[in-house]
Amino acid sequence: MKAIAVIPARLASTRLPRKMLREIDGVPLIGHVYRAVRSSPLLEDVIVATDSDEILQVCHKNRWNARMTSPDHRSGTERVHEISNSVHAEVYINVQGDEPMIRPEHIASLRGLMENLAVQVGTLATPASSADVTNIQANKVVVDLAGRALYFSHATIPFDRDGANPRYLKHLGIYGYRKSALDRFVGLPESSLERIERLEQLRFLENGVDIHVAVTPYDSIGIDTEDDLRQFEQSLRSQ
């Protein structure tokens, strides 16, 4: 099964300006992500998909495979779709450009999920820490008994009304798509829940497309704030 990874990377970001090019230990964030994804032996290729000439030039300078994509895309999934129109694969793995702690084990778990030809869209989750349960920056997911996502939210879901102490799952910023799923996504309008939560994967759920979830013991940190940057830097130095 030919699988390639696509890393959507745009320079405009609201909470942490120009974060793709922010340097941690002398390497821009996009470089840390590219190297982390490239460490997986299960990928045919890794491509940075950007709308920024500045990011493109940094990638070329460092020999990180990158392609320019349209500035009109509203989501990372749309950017992955553009790559899928010119690069053939059975599975396209979307790793968000602010996830530098992606591990080969994450890629292996997701690729294993996509071995099932019935799975059109897959993603990963990990047991949520007590801090992440109430952290609105940490996306949560609830799944059914077959491992399909019921809902994604910044809110604490499920709501523990009677103190049952449920298992909370933190959603990780990595997806697997088949080409047909990407084609379906870009052909659909932005959904109401997607607009409310600002979570693009809800477009699939609102339109009846199952998202299968594999649970991994390995957490990851998305870089959205200065604190996230410092936490990642500390983790690098501790290693």
pTM of the entire predicted model: 0.93
Q: What is the pLDDT of residue 48?
A: 98
Q: What is the pLDDT of residue 225?
A: 85
Q: What is the pLDDT of residue 209?
A: 97
Q: Is 21 strand, coil or helix?
A: helix
Question: 53-61 and 29-38 are packed helices; what angle lies between their axes, rounded to 10 degrees?
Answer: 50
Q: What is the pLDDT of residue 16?
A: 83
* Local structure of residue 20 (DSSP, 8 states): G
Q: What is the pLDDT of residue 230?
A: 86
| Structure token pair of residue 29 | 């964030």
Distance CA 174, CA 90 (A): 17
Q: What is the pLDDT of residue 221?
A: 83
Range list of β-strands (E), 11-69: 23-24, 27-28, 45-50, 66-68
| Structure token pair of residue 12 | 């405009």
Looking at the DSSP bridge assignments, the partners of residue 160 are none
Q: What is the pLDDT of residue 104?
A: 97
Residue 144 has a CB neighbour count (10 Å cut-off) of 10
> CB burial class (10 A; 0-12, 13-18, 19+) of residue 206?
middle
Q: What is the pLDDT of residue 125?
A: 98
Q: What is the pLDDT of residue 234?
A: 86
Which residues does the chain have with pLDDT short of 70? none
